[in-house]
Each structure stands twice: as structure tokens, then as C-alpha cells.
Chains A and B, each alone.
Chain A
Amino acid sequence: MRPSVATTLKPRSLQRRGRSQRRWYGLLFGGLLIWALLTAGIGVDDLINERGWPLTARFLRASLHPDLSAPFLLLALESTLTTLAYAVCGSVVSLGLGLVGGLLASEVWWQTWAGAAAPRWRIRGPLVAIRTLIAVPRAIHEIIWGLLLINIIGLDPLVAVLALGLPFGAVTAKVFADILDETPRDSLDALRNSGVPPLKALVYSLYPQALPDLISYTFYRFECAIRAVTVLGLIGAGGLGYQILLSLQSLRYEQMWTFLLALILLSGLIDVWGTFVRRQYDLANRIDLNTAQLSGCQPRRPRRPASSRLMRGSILGVAGLIPWAFWYIDADWSKLVSPRTWRLLSGVARDAWPPLIDAPFLGQLGRSMSQTLAMSILAMSFAGAVGLLLSFGAARNLVLPGGVLDSTVQRGRGWWRWLIYGSSRGVLLLCRAISEPIWALLVLFVVFPGILPGALGLGIYNLGIVGRLMAEVAENTDPRPLQALQAQGVARPQIFLYGVLPTTLPKSAAYVLYRWEVCIRATVVVGLVGAGGLGRLLTEQLSSLDYHRVTTTLLAFIALTLAVDAVSSAARRSLR
């Protein structure tokens, strides 16, 4: 899967254009960062609240003696199972939606359907319509979906399953569509030419080829689902997120640590499992999936799984987990089609349409949008910078004994390298296991309320995600240039500066840019804890049952997300 050196070289003119574009994006980023820092009041207001340190110390001390009494451990176990079950159900729903939506959102489907001779609009028309349609559920955060769905479904576990399944389904559909479009079409053409109907031809030609990438992506989604459920817990899905918030609200830190440890354990196990499955099948990694540089385009290295027993176990595990999760959640699926649901849905539509716009509200909306934007820029800059730093420690091919940055000559002296590796991985796992609003609430101990604690909350969480993916980037870099430098006796710092950094930086930056769009959506959840921006506005409106304004705010949110998406993908293109 490593790109060969020859393929990464581009014609000189293209290189030059990319470089000048990159310079522009660099300047734009610098300007935006300064603006965001000023908006957050850095250098203007005092931001650190020294009186909060004792509370922080109490919180940290509590980590040394989490509540491990038997009844409490039982509660922690039950909450962990709830979180797991919701994540599984949500993932299954999103997978179903993604498989159908991905087909409908793919260019290849409409081309196959319309036939080769069809006019361009017959393909582009429905394609653009569906791509726009699936952009909407993506822009709205799970927690907002949850609060809206209660209006239609009432109090039922189904709310949380759908709140997770709908936006995740839309994301999955988009990625699946890209995967299908990137899959080689020779076999499809062959089937179509021999008269096989479009749907059948696609299912039998593209899906089998794309399946490994689809599975790889589904695993990533599942890992995200675990984290998303902990946020949904805040609005009543229960599980670990809910328990963590409760113990934080009632200032019982010893109990909170028990739940945090359970969450870190669950999250870590699933991460390890996912990585294992991907390694076994040599599946595409996340960044390649998102930037559509898929393994399907390159010949796959045939590789026999090293331990097929573990793989078989995995498959059986998944097959058992899914029915168990649906049984455990016990959602009332009949509510999907009950007349009451439809009556309530039309009621909500009446309440929410038309969106309300008046002059003072527009001013407020503008201010909130700029706060949200500033918050996301600060968060991602922080996540990118710290994540990059930690990612090198967490990459096994760099620091570990035998890695390119290993200078120890004697064997057996590299224990501290394992320490760096382990602690980097541990910090990254900790950062991403705890959800954004909880981080924001913790940061609020010592930072005065405003944009900054929100940005830090988002930043810490995202650094866990970005850092891990950056480590993956580092591990997947072409080792040959580095080995060449090493063989010529170049000093370690220079290998790092001239070998590791230039080869990993563009991809890492691309991933931060990709993540920026996700971060914009997530500003909603820190708005819930009072960090300002559109999220703050939205919760105020939701709690006032002011649905006309909620619609306006959501539209503003969708517009902002799409704009960020456009800027980020343009910037990413310049990085390729």
C-alpha cells in the first residue's frame, strides 16, 4: 500500500502550482488563527482562574482511588454494556443507511443506470441532489438529532439509536459512494455488456471488490460510535457518558474515575480490535479512505492472516454482538411507522417552519457563527500541533528500538523508548476516550468561561483522534528514503527534520483539515456546557421550545459546515 517514490513525484509545473497555492492557504490559516486568538480574548483578558487549581487537584487526586466497591463496579459494568449496545445498534443502522445511500450517492450507479449514451444532466442531476441531501444529516450533531427526535418518537431507546444512525449513516453513505466510485470498473462493464441489469451488475461486481474498504470504514465508524454514545448519554441515552456527567455534576470524582477507566478500557479494546482486523486483512487506513486514495486502486498484496483463529473469533463475536445489542436496547421499532409518529412529525414541521429571521436575531446569529468558527480554528490548531508532537512518539517505526530514530547501539538499553511509545499511545487514548463536553467541563475548572474552554475541550479530544491517525501516517511512510539517510550516517535530528517531517506533514495536515469539518459540528456539544457560539444559541432556543428560531440556527450551522467543508477540501487538494 505504500506509494512508490516514482508515483509520488509530480510534473514540475504542478509542483510549483501546488506550492504557491499552499503558500496562500498558509497565509489564510495564519490570519484566521490570529483572528481566532483575538476573538477568544487571548492576550486581552485574563483567562486562567488560579482559584480553580484546588478543585483540579482534588479531581486528579481522586484518580488514585477510584470507587471500586462491588455494587458500584456492577453499575459501571452495566453502563459499559449499555454504551456498547447503543454503539452497536447505531452502527448497524448507519451501515444499512450507508449501503443504500452510498449506492445512490455514487456516480457509477447513475452512470450504469442511465447508460453510457445518456446526457450529462441525467447523471449529474440526481447525483448532486442526493449528495446535497445527505450533507444535511451530517452537518447536524447527534445530540441535536436526539433532542429533535424526542419530539417525534417520545421517550424510547429508539431516539438514541436513530440519533446515532442518521448522521453516521449519512457520513458512511458519502464515504461508501467515494469508495464505489474509485473501484475499478472492468468487471462491471463486462457484466453490463453481457446484459446483466444495473443493480445486479453493481452488486456482483463492485461490492465484492470494495468490501474490504467498506468493512475497514465500518470499523472506524464503530469506534467513533462508542465515543458518540457517551455524548448522547448526556441527553438520556444512559450508559457511561450519562454516569460520567452525573458524577461530575454531583462532584463525586472518585466515582467519575471508575466510569472514566471503564470507558478508556472499552474504547481501547475496540481500537485494538479494529487495528488488529485491519492489519490482518491489510485494509486501507482511515486517511486513505477519507481522501479517496483507496487500496482498491492498487493491487492488493495477497497475505495470509497470521492467526485466523482470532479472526474467526472476531467474526463470531460480531455475529453475536449484534443480536445481543438489539435485544439489550429493546427499542420499540413499531414507533417508526406508528400513526402517532407521523402526527407528531407534522406537528413539528408546523412548529419549525418557516424559519424565523429578524434583525436583532440576525446580529446574534452572526456573532455566534464567528465564535463557533474561532472556536473550531483554535481547537484544530491545538489538536494538530500537540497531536503531531505525540504522534512521533506513538509511531512504532520511529522511536522504538530498531526504529529509524533509534540511536542505541547496545541491545536491551531501549526500555525508555518503550516508555515514550507507551505513554504517547496512552495519552492519545485518554484524550479521545473522554468526550468533548466532559473535557470542556474539566477545563472550566481553571479557565474562565468563554470560547477558550470550549476550544480546549474540543482540542484535547481531537488531538487524541488526530494524533493516532498521524502516528498511522508515520508508520506507513516509505522507509526507503529514511533508510538511505540512515545508511549515509546522517544524524538522528536531521533524519527527523529532512526525512520524517517532510514525508508525513502533508498527510497529517490533510487529516487535520478533514477533521476541522467534524470539529465544527461538535462545537454544539461544548455549547451545551456554556462555551458560547452557535451551540449555546441552539440549546437556549431548544430549551425555550422556540422551533422557528431553531430552524434558522440549524440552517446557519449547515451553511457554516458546508463552507468549512469546501475550504478544507480545496486546501487538502493543494496538499496532494
Chain B
Amino acid sequence: MRVYFRALSILIVLGSMLAACGAATPAAETKAATPLIISAIPDQDPEKLNRLYPQVAAYLSAELGIPVEYKPVTDYTAAVTAFKVGDLDLVWYGGLTGVQARLQVPGAQAIVQRDIDATFHSIFITNSASGIASIADLKGKTFTFGSETSTSGRLMPQYFLGQEGIQLSDFKGEAGFSGSHDKTIGLVESGTYDAGAVNEQVWKKTLADGKVDQSKVVAFYTTPAYYDYHWVLNPGAVDRYGADFTQKVQQAFFKLDPAKSADKEILDLFGATKFIATTNENYTQIETIGRAIGKITP
């Protein structure tokens, strides 16, 4: 028996060494090509994200003439952190995560957004059995946000709740964080929570697809407009591909044409008709609110 143990331990050591050598080589090769790495916050159905972003990567690669690679990220914070360490070049962020990411990387720029992002809203939904008809009725009820760093599912809803005189301590129990807009809708529909806040676009899409029982869930409040989702470009990419790279990327997005079927597919998956330019200054309101609520620290 002991012979086996000894053989086993030798094999373990040899095997790990071999594997380590094998693993090192392909990684070195990909670095030489330096593709543009794009990513996105995981704000909705990941299956949809996996259909959309490889298409975006292919489109950008053709337009910009450089290799473009999509790296999926499964956590909002991880998407910000990976941008900070320089592993992601161009990322589709929400309002708050975009500000968080830019504050971590001096020189990062908000460059493009959808037409709908300049006047975005959050929708408050409630289970029809809960008897909630206005924001004031939320006192003493259970309530869920989406992801912790979601702009439309947490930051702006929490801000507008405060504006209407509702604090988080007014809810029954602790405010929940469902993790995604789809989940929020599901939990309110089931009655796990009396009410919740969701992204306007996701809500409309869910209604249009008939994926929700409207006798059980109703919308009762729409927030004022704010700036939301946008693409943020890492200055590291500008260093690599030249000073006019920002404009090139912007142009590539502006050129998406709903008349072309391939382009239309991308636009549809984004839920947009066209992309427009944006700047860092558009997000000062988000930054102020983020600081007030404690989601942005110095």
C-alpha cells in the first residue's frame, strides 16, 4: 500500500508542475495580441447577456479593425474592480457603477449611451394583494431593491424614497436585495415582498413579453428622470490604440443602424433605437447621491 501512496505523491507533484507549465504558455500568447476587452455589469438575464455581447464584440472588431474579446463578469463589484486593475477596457456600466469605476481610474471617460439613458426612470411595483397605492403606503410593508449597486434598482429608488419621506427603517424587517430586476419582479409577484423597485426598461420588456401576471403585480410610481447606463472607456486602451480611439469607438456605436438587420439585432437586445454621446459631467447628480447614501466613499 505504501508504494501506492508514494507513487501517488510523486505523481501529484509532477502533475502539478506539468500543468503549471502548460497553463503558462497559452496565456503568454494571448497577451501578445492585446485585444480590446469589453464587459458589462450583470444586470439582467445572463443568457441574454451571452447572446448580446459576443455580437457587440464582433461588431466592434469589424468596425475598429482590432481583436475584441468579451469577458463576462457575474458580480457588479467585480466588474468595477476588474476595470480598476486594468483587466477590462470598455465596460457597459449602470450610472452608479460607472461613477465608481471612473473614480478608481483617473482619466476614464463615459463616452456613449443609449437614447433612453438620458431620461431613465425606475418603476415601483407592488403585489396587488398588499393594498399599496402610493409611496406613503410603503410604511410597515416589506420592500426589495435589486442589486446593491444598481442605479435603477437601488440608488435612485432609495433617493426618491427619501425625497418622499420614507426611510429604510420604515419598512417591515430589512429592505431586501434581490440581486436582479427579474428576481425583484418574481419576488413581488409571489408576495415574498410587498413591493419593489425595478428598472423601467426591464419592466416594460417583461410586460411586453407577457412574462408577468398583471393581476398580481402592478406599477404604482415612476421616479423623475435621471442619467443611467453608459459605456466607460479605460485610458489604458487609449494609450494602446491611439489618441483618437475614443472618437473611433463613439463613431462605431453611432453607426449602428436600425435599418440593417445585424445592427438592429444588437440595438434590440440593448432595447434602444440608437446610441448617443455622453460625458462624465452628466453623472454629477448620481455621484452626489451615491456619496449621500454611502455607496461612494472618498
Q: Which residues of A contact B (CB under 8 A)?
A: 45, 49, 51-52, 54-55, 92, 95, 147, 150-155, 208, 211, 215, 234-236, 242, 246, 249-251, 281, 305, 311-312, 315, 318-319, 322-323, 325-327, 329-334, 340, 344, 444-446, 448-450, 529-530, 532, 536, 539-540, 542-546, 548-549
Contact = CB atoms under 8 A, between A and B. Distances in A.
B182 A251 contact: yes
Contacts of A242: 74
Interface of B: 1-2, 4-5, 7-8, 11-12, 15-16, 18-20, 22-24, 26-28, 45-47, 71, 73-78, 80-82, 84-88, 100, 104, 127, 129, 142, 144, 148-149, 172-174, 176-180, 182-183, 186-187, 190-193, 294-297
B192 A319 contact: no
A52 B190 contact: yes
A439 B24 CA distance: 38
Contact of B84 (A52, A151, A549): A151
A198 B174 CA distance: 57
B176 to A, nearest CB: 5
Nearest to B39: A155
Contacts of A311: 4
Given A55-B186, A95-B12, A326-B18, 10 more contacts: A51-B191, A51-B192, A155-B78, A249-B182, A305-B1, A319-B7, A326-B23, A449-B192, A529-B179, A536-B174
Contact of B78 (A235, A449, A529, A549): A235
24 contacts: A51-B127, A92-B12, A147-B75, A151-B84, A152-B85, A154-B82, A155-B87, A250-B45, A250-B180, A250-B183, A312-B4, A323-B16, A326-B20, A327-B19, A327-B22, A332-B24, A333-B24, A446-B192, A449-B144, A532-B174, A542-B77, A543-B149, A544-B149, A544-B295
Contacts of B176: 444, 449, 530
A545 B80 contact: yes
A169 to B, nearest CB: 14
Contacts of B178: 530
Given A208-B2, A249-B180, A545-B80, A449 B85 contact: no
Query: 10 tightest A-B contacts by CB?
Result: A51-B191, A326-B19, A323-B15, A55-B190, A319-B11, A154-B87, A236-B74, A546-B297, A332-B27, A154-B85
Contact of A545 (B22, B82, B86, B104): B104
A333 to B, nearest CB: 5
- Secondary structure type dominating chain A contacts: helix
Contacts of B85: 150-154, 340, 344
A304 to B, nearest CB: 9
A448 B2 CA distance: 55
Contacts of A151: 81, 84-85
A326 B82 contact: no
A199 to B, nearest CB: 17
Contacts of B74: 234-236, 242
A51 B4 CA distance: 58
